[in-house]
Amino acid sequence: MIGSIFRTSFRERRSATVWWTLGMVSLAVVTVSFFPTIRNDTESFQEMFDSMPEGLLTVFGIDDSTLLITPSGFVNSRLYSGIGPIVLSAFGVGLGTAAIVGEEDRGTLNLLLAQPISRTRLVLEKFASVTASTLSVGGGVLGALVVLNPIVDLGFPLANMVAANVGLVLMTLVFSAFALAIGSLTGDRGRTIGLSVALVVGAFVINGLAPLIDSLAWTRQFSPFYWLQGPNRLSNGFSLGYSSLMVIAIGSLVCVAVWGLNRRDIDV
């Protein structure tokens, strides 16, 4: 029985994981393929980037428009500061919601709990399957960058590409773990999705708009988007501090999920 929940859950979402991976790989390919156009006409693109409102750039995690004409700045702005994190936060919320409260909503959670397995192990194996799916997507993005890096002459060290995708995976798992915790606590799918989406939107807004208001700039430190974007891992490599912070957040939320499911009365 040990590991069977993990294998079954991962297999059930295998098709969706493949499509999400292909989507993120496509985003990576399009992003990297466009950079030579910027490299060949840096002056025109720099003028265009400079003309964009500062607030608009900040919302997408861009503090300096001059970085957008560099390989790390441009790729980071798309894959790790802009579209990429937004897409994967939705992926993470979906996985975390489906793990426990999704089973309960379909009426299959009671069948799982009737098996000789503890609720604690159920939560842990469910989250392990979420982690495996997320790693699959992150691995696909990393593979695309590794292949395209020498072709487009981006000059990214392998360690930096690994660091950037580890950060992306950890950020996604923060939102997955939050959805898992809310679902385990409440057993309400609608509330789980609503609160999780609220967290994603709130974290994105705080990360983007707080720097524009001096008195609120410090709140950016609490956003998972900033934990990913702040260090610019493509340029600076692995960030032990922010990565540790995300691991602590994930572990704490999974513990809440275990406690929440163990304390609830569920008819089996």
Q: Is the pTM of this model over 0.85?
A: yes
CB 88 within 8 Å of CB 172 = yes
Q: Does the pLDDT at position 1 exceed 60?
A: no
Using CA atoms, how far apart are residues 212 and 214, in angstroms rounded to an integer? 6
Largest alpha-carbon pair distance within the chain?
66
Q: What is the pLDDT of residues 214-243, one digit of tens each?
A: 777 788 889 999 898 877 888 888 888 899
Residue holding tokens 């964009």?
Answer: 52
Confidence bin at 266 (pLDDT 50/70/90): confident
Q: Which of 40-44, 90-94, 151-155 has the highest mean pLDDT?
A: 90-94
Using CA atoms, how far apart are residues 2 and 127, in angstroms rounded to an integer? 14
Domain residue ranges of the chain, discontinuous segments joined by +: 4-263
Find all residues with CB under 8 Å of 193, minimum gap 6, and list them: 93, 97, 179
